[in-house]
């Protein structure tokens, strides 16, 4: 034979499904973008600035830790971008930018880099970042501003541009300036918890209420989640079971005392449960790999969320529920090893 | 139980994958390949002890003549695929990897395709024991790829009872269509072989399991069966690795071979269609296995087809004959999921080779082969037909906890089907990790 081919040797299998980490992560970003866009439309340039600052800080931190650990840049895997977008969406739209940057840095540093980067982190980095600022800046993170206020595309929410290391100003006066109706500065969850006012379900579904930057439109979150689930880049069982178990838990209390407890649909649509269930609880790295483990994990998150909401001091419990679920994942995985084909177990 | 099974009421194995099947050669009739100038016949083409040569350098042999005898029971003889002169016994590359002793035959120009050595026999007069002996004498091994001596497989241990012969016509590996063609072109030989195997094993029932992407074969075989025949044709879901013994037994009979056990533990013996069609053809004539059908395909092959190839044909000769392209390629013997890549074009086609594939994949040096950390996506967990946890196994392998892999996570149940590596978005070479782990555990045990 005249031509001499270069023979390449690989071990079997010699075929691959072709979908790699980058493709999956990039699609998660795609799924998040409509929610980001809606947030910006809803809250204006403050939300945009928050998204940009938080995401850029995540990327810079990630790159910095790459450099410190002598590894090649991992920005190309899009995971830091996802952390940034998700983190920004869990913060109030008028959250001071410098605090957002702190949350982003802490999330990447303590939540991810410290464990060894992508795949090694025990918990969701975005939520680690948020938990840190929740503890550090309890006032700022519960300062809500109304959606769709006039002039949102020309002026920042006063708190947004708080200089670094200073506390944000009070926004009560500003809110009464920009809104026609009386706005109590409360999210649907706070309204329900402290004042017993139940927000219209349709408003929450469409996202016209106050709330964290990206958690207000249940519909867009659902659409993004379903897109990923359809492409099998997200385990649909996790969000479905989180929402279902939250609804069932809430439903039990609602049946006991409808006047005191919110109805299940309200629980599912309000706060960060939708975003948390679809985009954070389902984070592959922090969730179990075994089929039974996934069920335990998801139900645990759903139930804990509702318990915190109904009986805790906080209005929202999704974040801690997911972090607890993440923490329990290694244990859940260990005790739920699937029955191997042909394995004889007692009673089978 | 998977969604498919629920919807269609079938009891199949769960998990598995659906790779692109590329069965482009399914309509290509089997054609005979001419003799190469030299045949390379390794003495250990089968699992077990290598055969013992019966010939010396310079000796003339005729097509069909035994040239090596079985070394005891766990071994099979070897027959000359062509008339020619023994050029020597030398170390030659094999599909398995390391070089082993092989008999080289210089084929006479114009060597006849007629088989010149045979011992016809009346099959109906043979006892089961004599059939088993006849099978060993034919040199037959599992032609699906395992190359396990067929007489061993059909010898049921005295403490086991088998009731069903499962005939494996799944051919679940992408590209390969040789078994499909054998079913279409040699149904009578196949059914004859099934009868011999049933008599040898004392089974009263046989099920031919065929993936439902080969309905023409299903219909054809059904048309050859009379009513009340103990042989049943069963279409099973097209899903890799349906053709694995344990998976097919589950799909055909809903029986689970226990961990570490054999099909005989659940009353089953499994044989490949090519093997049984071969027995149906060879046994009555008293001939040996000297050629086999292989699929030559893949993106690098200009004219993919099925060929009847003399054993020992170097793949270089086949490639020259069919024509291939690609300056940077991978040559696979068998299917893309489990077949080994060959390092030398002098490697011959052996009894266990079911295909020759030329894949023009992106070069190894390219970025697309970058390995990412495990992101615990669990795709491998939902792909593993053995219901193992490849994600966990892979992480343990990276930490070299090989013993824990075997003791806690059922490493030994892995049969290296490749589903986990196939789906892994991080491109982690899981199967390779597991091979290494098994090899090291074996070494530790020894």
Q: Which CATH architecture has domain B34-108+290-359?
A: Roll (3.10)
Pull the structure tokens for residue A9.
């040797």
What is the mean predicted confidence (pLDDT) over B169-192?
96
Is B146 exposed, middle or buried (CB count within 10 Å of its CB: 0-12, 13-18, 19+)?
middle
For A336, name the nearest residue in chain B, comparing CA atoms only.
Answer: B389
Q: What is residue B34's DSSP assignment?
A: P
- Token digits for A184? 């109590």
Tell me the nearest-neighbour CA distance from B282 into chain A, angstroms.
33
Euclidean distance between CA atoms A225 and A239, whole angstroms: 9
Residue range A288-309, pLDDT digits in tens: 999 999 999 999 999 999 999 9
Beta-carbon contacts of residue A5 (< 8 Å; ≥ 6 apart): B326, B327, B328, B329
Phi-psi region of A171 (alpha: psi -120 to 50; beta: other; left: phi over 0): alpha
In contact, A52 and A97? CB cutoff 8 Å: no
Interchain CB contacts (distance < 8 Å): A and B: 171
Non-local CB neighbours of A334 within 8 Å, separated by 6+ positions: none
Write out pLDDT tens, residues B307-354: 999 999 999 999 999 988 776 678 999 999 999 999 888 999 999 999
Cβ pair B366, B375 in contact under 8 A = no
pLDDT tens-digit map of A262-276: 899 988 888 889 999
Kindly determine whether residue A284 and residue B416, on different chains, have CB atoms separated by under 8 Å.
no
> Given pLDDT bands bounded at 50, 70 and 90, which one contains residue A165?
confident
Phi, psi of B178 (to 5 degrees): -65, -40
The answer, yes or no, to whether residue A221 has pLDDT greater than 80, is yes
Q: A19 to chain B: which residues are within 8 Å by CB? A: 425
Whether residue B426 and residue A13 make contact (CB cut-off 8 A), yes or no, is: no
CB contact under 8 A, B17 and A14: no
Which of helix, strand or coil describes residue A108?
A: helix
- Yes or no, beta carbons of A1 and B359 under 8 Å apart: no
Report the pLDDT value the prediction gives residue A308, as an integer from 0 to 100. 93
Cα angle value B183/B187/B192 (rounded, 5°): 125
pLDDT at residue number A66: 94
Q: Which of B258, B389, B392 sits opposite A342 (nearest CB)?
A: B258
Q: Which residue intervals of chain B bear CATH 3.40.50.11540?
A: 3-26+124-285
Give the pLDDT mean for B111-129. Answer: 92
Are the Cβ atoms of B388 and A20 closer than 8 angstroms? no
Distances (CA, A) of B310 to B23, B84, B181, B255, B405: 23, 13, 17, 38, 42
pLDDT of residue A212: 73
DSSP B155-213: S--TT----EEEEEE---SSS--HHHHHHHH-HHHHHHHHHHHHHHHT-SEEEEEEETT
Q: Model confidence at B1, in pLDDT bands (50, 70, 90)?
A: very low
- Nearest chain A Cα distance for residue B441, angstroms: 20
User: b/e map of B96-112 (b: 16 or more CB within 10 Å)?
Assistant: beeebbbbbbebbeebe
* Residues of chain B positioned with their CB less than 8 A from the CB of A116: 373
Write the pLDDT tens digit of every residue in B61-93.
999 999 999 999 999 999 999 999 999 999 999
Q: Which of A8, A17, A343 sits opposite B330 (nearest CB)?
A: A8
B357 vs A contacts (CB less than 8 Å): 14
Backbone angles phi, psi at B134, to 5 degrees: -60, -35
Helix, strand, or coil here: B272?
strand
For chain B, give the longest Cα–Cα distance.
Answer: 64
Residues B195-220: what's their mean pLDDT?
Answer: 96
Cβ distance B421 to B428 under 8 Å?
yes
Dig out the tokens for A327 from the structure.
Answer: 């923490």
Per the document, the length of chain A is 348
Phi-psi region of B48 (alpha: psi -120 to 50; beta: other; left: phi over 0): left
- Could you report the per-residue pLDDT of B361-375, keeping only the tens digit for each? 666 666 567 889 999
User: Tokens standing for A32?
Assistant: 């998040």
Task: Calculate how close chain A gets to B177, using CA atoms only, in Å.
Answer: 17
Hey, are the CB atoms on A1 and B364 less than 8 Å from each other?
Answer: no
d(CA B306, CA B293): 7
CA dihedral A253, A254, A257, A262 (to 10 degrees): 110
Interface mutation target, options B381, B413, B428, chain A, most CBs of A under 10 Å? B381
Residue A104: closest CA among A36, A176, A54: A54
Q: What global pTM score does this model have?
A: 0.91
Are the Cβ atoms of B392 and A289 closer than 8 angstroms? Answer: yes
Q: Is the pLDDT of residue A178 over 80?
A: no
For residue A10, give the nearest of B320, B330, B435 by CB distance: B330
**Is the Cβ pair B389, A6 closer than 8 Å?**
no
CB atoms < 10 A from the CB of B265, how many?
A: 16
Q: Classify residue B384 as exposed, middle or buried by CB count within 10 Å of its CB (0-12, 13-18, 19+).
A: buried
Residues of A in contact with B256 (CB under 8 A): 341-342
- Looking at CA atoms only, how far is residue A16 from chain B in angstroms? 4
Q: What per-residue confidence (pLDDT) applies to B60?
A: 96
- CB contacts of A118 in chain B (<8 Å) are 372-373, 375
Q: What's residue A11's pLDDT?
A: 87
Kindly state the percentage of chain B with pLDDT values over 90: 84
B337–A12 C-beta distance less than 8 A: yes
Q: How far does Cα A248 stand from its chain's mean position?
A: 22
In this complex, the residue of B19, B331, B391 whose CB is nearest that of residue A289 is B391
Angle at B201 between CA B200 and CA B206, to 5 degrees: 105
Please give the Cα distance from B42 to B139 (Å, whole number). 13
Which residue is associated with the tokens 């483990």? Answer: A293
Q: What backbone torsions phi and psi does residue B106 show, to the nearest 5 degrees? A: -80, 115
Put simply, the answer to whether B328 touches A20 (Cβ < 8 Å) is no
Please give the residue of chain A at the shortest CA–CA distance from B387: A340
Cβ of B413 and A12 within 8 Å? no
Distance, in Å, from the CA atom of A175 to the CA atom of A145, rounded to the nearest integer, reads 7
- pLDDT category, A96, cuts 50, 70, 90? very high
Residue A1's pLDDT band (cuts 50, 70, 90): very low
Alpha carbon distance A138, A134 (integer Å): 5
The Cα of A299 is separated from the nearest Cα of chain B by a number of Å equal to 18
Query: Would residue A327 be called left, alpha or beta, if left means φ above 0 and alpha means ψ between -120 and 50 degrees?
Result: alpha
Is residue B72 within a helix (H) or strand (E), and if so which, with residue range? none
A178 and A150 in contact (C-beta within 8 Å)?
yes
pLDDT of residue A4: 65
Q: What is the rounded average pLDDT for all residues in chain B? A: 92
Distance CA(B219)–CA(B165), nearest Å, equals 20
Which residues in chain B have Cβ-Cβ distances shorter than 8 Å to A117? 373
Task: Locate the chain B residue with the closest alpha carbon to A339.
Answer: B387
Nearest by CB to A15, which of B337, B379, B389?
A: B337
CB contact under 8 A, A5 and B13: no
The C-alpha atoms of residue B405 and residue B104 are separated, in whole angstroms, by 43
Angle (nearest 5°) at CA B413 between A236 and B96: 115
Q: What is the ipTM of this complex?
A: 0.88
Match 């349906």 to its residue by tokens.
B242
Position A347 scores a pLDDT of 43
Query: What CATH code is assigned to B3-26+124-285?
Result: 3.40.50.11540
- Within 10 angstroms of residue B212's Cβ, the number of other Cβ atoms is 14
C-beta of residue B106 within 8 angstroms of C-beta of residue B82? no
pLDDT for residue A213: 62
Least confident of A51-60, A176-185, B230-239, B292-301: A176-185
Going from the C-alpha of B426 to that of each of A59, A91, A157, B421, the distances in angstroms are: 21, 31, 42, 9
| Contact call for B381 and A21, based on CB within 8 A | no
Q: What are phi and psi of A127, to 5 degrees?
A: -75, -30
Is B435 exposed, middle or buried (CB count within 10 Å of its CB: 0-12, 13-18, 19+)?
Answer: middle
Q: What is the pLDDT of residue B364?
A: 62
Question: Which residue, B66, B384, B418, B126, is CA-closest to B247?
Answer: B384
C-alpha span between B391 and B378 (Å, rounded): 7
How confident is the model at residue A185, as a pLDDT? 62
- Minimal CA–CA distance to A91: which of A7, A205, A216? A216
Cβ atoms of B91 and B101 within 8 Å: the answer is: yes
How far is residue B152's CA from residue B200's CA, in Å, rounded to a whole number? Answer: 11
Chain B residues in contact with A13 by the CB 8 A cut-off are 336-338, 418, 421-422, 431
CB atoms A13 and B431 under 8 Å: yes
A341–B13: do the CB atoms touch at under 8 Å? yes
C-alpha to C-alpha distance for A57 and A108, rounded to whole angstroms? 9
- CA pair distance B32, A99, nearest whole angstrom: 76
Cα–Cα distance measured from residue B382 to residue A291, given in angstroms and rounded to the nearest whole number:
8
pLDDT tens, position by position, B253-287: 999 999 989 999 999 999 999 999 999 999 999 99
Q: What does the domain layout of chain A look like in residue ranges?
A: 21-143+145-185, 186-335
What span, in angstroms and rounded, lies between the C-alpha atoms of B377 and A254? 36
Of B336, B413, B424, the CB nearest to A14: B336
Distance CA B416, CA B404 (A): 18
Are B375 and A3 in contact (CB < 8 Å)? no
CB within 8 Å: A12 and B431? yes
Mean pLDDT within A210-217? 70
Asked: is B370-445 a CATH 1.10.1060.10 domain? The reply is yes
CA distances from A75 to A78, A105, A135 (A): 6, 15, 28
């Amino acid at each position: 034979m005249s031509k001499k081919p270069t023979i390449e040797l690989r071990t079997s299998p010699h075929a691959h499904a072709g979908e790699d980490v980058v493709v999956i992560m990039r699609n998660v970003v795609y799924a998040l973008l409509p929610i980001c866009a809606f947030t910006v439309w809803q809250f204006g340039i403050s939300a945009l600035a928050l998204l940009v600052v938080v995401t850029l800080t995540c990327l810079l931190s990630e790159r910095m830790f790459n450099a410190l650990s002598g590894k090649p840049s991992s920005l190309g895997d899009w995971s830091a971008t996802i952390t940034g977008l998700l983190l920004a969406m869990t913060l109030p739209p008028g959250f001071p930018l410098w605090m957002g940057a702190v949350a982003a840095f802490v999330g990447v540093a303590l939540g991810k880099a410290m464990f060894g980067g992508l795949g090694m982190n025990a918990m969701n980095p975005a939520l680690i970042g948020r938990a840190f600022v929740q503890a550090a800046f309890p006032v700022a993170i519960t300062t809500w501003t109304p959606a769709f206020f006039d002039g949102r595309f020309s002026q920042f929410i006063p708190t947004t541009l708080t200089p670094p290391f200073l506390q944000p100003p009070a926004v009560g006066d500003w809110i009464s300036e920009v809104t026609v109706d009386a706005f109590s500065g409360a999210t649907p969850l706070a309204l329900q918890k402290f004042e017993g006012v139940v927000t219209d379900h349709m408003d929450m579904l469409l996202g016209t209420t106050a709330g964290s930057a990206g958690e207000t439109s249940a519909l867009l979150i659902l659409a993004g989640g379903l897109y990923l689930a359809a492409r099998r880049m997200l385990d649909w069982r996790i969000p479905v079971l989180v929402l279902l178990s939250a609804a069932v838990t809430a439903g039990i209390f609602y049946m006991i005392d409808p006047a005191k407890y919110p109805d299940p649909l309200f629980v599912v649509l309000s706060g960060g449960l939708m975003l948390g269930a679809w985009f954070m609880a389902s984070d592959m790295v922090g969730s179990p790999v075994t089929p039974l483990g996934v069920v335990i994990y998801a139900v645990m998150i759903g139930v804990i969320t509702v318990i915190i909401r109904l009986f805790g001091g906080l209005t929202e419990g999704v974040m801690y529920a997911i972090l607890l679920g993440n923490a329990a994942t290694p244990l859940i995985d260990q005790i739920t090893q699937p029955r191997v084909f042909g394995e004889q177990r007692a009673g089978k | 139980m998977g969604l498919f099974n629920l919807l269609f009421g079938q009891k199949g194995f769960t998990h598995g994958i659906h790779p692109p099947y590329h069965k482009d050669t399914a309509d290509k009739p089997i054609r005979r390949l001419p003799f190469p100038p030299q045949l390379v016949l390794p003495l250990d083409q089968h699992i077990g002890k290598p055969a013992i040569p019966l010939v010396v350098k310079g000796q003339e042999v005729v097509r069909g003549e035994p040239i090596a005898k079985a070394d005891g029971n766990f071994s099979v003889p070897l027959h000359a695929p062509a008339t020619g002169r023994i050029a020597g016994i030398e170390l030659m590359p094999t599909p398995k990897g390391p070089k082993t002793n092989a008999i080289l035959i210089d084929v006479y120009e114009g060597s006849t395709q007629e088989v010149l050595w045979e011992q016809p026999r009346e099959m109906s007069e043979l006892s089961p024991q004599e059939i088993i002996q006849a099978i060993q004498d034919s040199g037959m091994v599992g032609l699906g790829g395992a190359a396990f001596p067929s007489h061993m497989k059909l010898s049921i241990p005295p403490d086991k009872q088998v009731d069903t012969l499962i005939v494996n016509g799944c051919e679940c590996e992408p590209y390969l269509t040789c078994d499909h063609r054998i079913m279409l072109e040699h149904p009578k030989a196949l059914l004859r072989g099934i009868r011999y195997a049933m008599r040898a094993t004392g089974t009263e029932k046989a099920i031919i399991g065929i993936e439902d992407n080969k309905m023409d074969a299903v219909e054809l075989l059904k048309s050859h069966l009379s009513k009340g025949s103990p042989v049943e044709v069963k279409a099973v879901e097209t899903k890799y690795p349906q053709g694995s013994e344990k998976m097919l037994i589950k799909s055909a009979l809903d029986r689970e071979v226990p961990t570490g056990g054999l099909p005989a533990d659940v009353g089953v013996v499994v044989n490949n269609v090519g093997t049984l069609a071969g027995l149906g053809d060879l046994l009555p004539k008293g001939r040996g296995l000297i050629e086999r059908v292989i699929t030559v395909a893949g993106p690098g092959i200009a004219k993919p087809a099925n060929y009847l190839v003399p054993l020992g044909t170097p793949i270089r000769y086949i490639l020259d004959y069919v024509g291939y392209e690609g300056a940077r390629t991978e040559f696979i013997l068998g299917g893309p999921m489990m077949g080994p890549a060959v390092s030398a074009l002098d490697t011959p086609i052996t009894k266990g080779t079911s295909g020759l594939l030329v894949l023009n994949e992106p070069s190894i040096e390219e970025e697309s082969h970058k390995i990412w950390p495990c992101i615990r996506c669990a795709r491998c967990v939902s792909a593993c037909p053995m219901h193992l946890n490849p994600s966990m196994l892979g992480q343990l392998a990276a930490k070299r906890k090989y013993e824990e892999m075997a003791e806690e996570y059922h490493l030994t149940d892995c049969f290296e089907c490749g589903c986990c590596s196939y789906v892994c978005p991080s491109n982690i070479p899981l199967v390779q990790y597991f091979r290494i782990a098994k090899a090291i555990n074996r070494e530790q045990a020894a």
